[in-house]
Structure formats: C-alpha cells, structure tokens
Amino acid sequence: MEPITVYTTGPSCGKCQMTKRMLTSRGIPYIEINIREDDAAREYVTEELGYSTAPVVVVDDHDHWSDMRPDHIDRIALHHANE
C-alpha cells in the first residue's frame, strides 16, 4: 500500500495525533505534512480540497476527508488487509 498523506497543524492538534495513532495501530503507512509550516500544502488543503479542519487525510485524488474519522480509517484498513 502506498502511504496516505495526513495534513496536520502540528503536535498540539489532538485529533491529528489520534488519527496518526489509529493509522499506525492498523498498519496503514502515512506521510505527515504540517500545514502551518508548508504554505503550498495549506493552500492545497484549503483552496483545492476545501477543508478548514485538521487533520485532512488524503488517500488519493478521489478519497479524502477532514477531522477525526475512525469509520474511514477502518475502511482503509480493511482495504489494506485485503490487498
């Protein structure tokens, strides 16, 4: 499985930390990008994807979400297990 991308606002974001822990516990590889430190990433998340709440998880161009979503993480984990 290719790593998914998790856009965060840094270590003080509780939902970001919980999302990363859930991904790790389910064996889903991810890359973290802090949108407070990366202007292009912040523009992508807010302007192109239209999100205003972190974390933003991007699986691919058609599969992404914002906020803490255990249901989506479980769905991705199930797909990952079936590969």
* Mean pLDDT on 60-74: 96
* Res. 82: pLDDT tops 90: no
Query: Which residues, including other chains, have CB under 8 Å from residue 69's CB and lie 6 or more apart?
Result: 19, 57
Place of tokens 């079936």: 82
Average per-residue pLDDT for the chain? 95
* Res. 83: pLDDT tops 80: no
Delineate the domains of the chain, giving CATH numbers in brackets. Answer: 4-81 (3.40.30.10)
Place of tokens 């990366």: 38
DSSP 8-state secondary structure symbol assigned to residue 2: P
**pLDDT tens, residue by residue, 8-30:** 999 999 999 999 999 999 999 99
pLDDT band at 1 (very low <50, low <70, confident <90, very high): confident
d(C-alpha 8, C-alpha 72), whole Å: 17
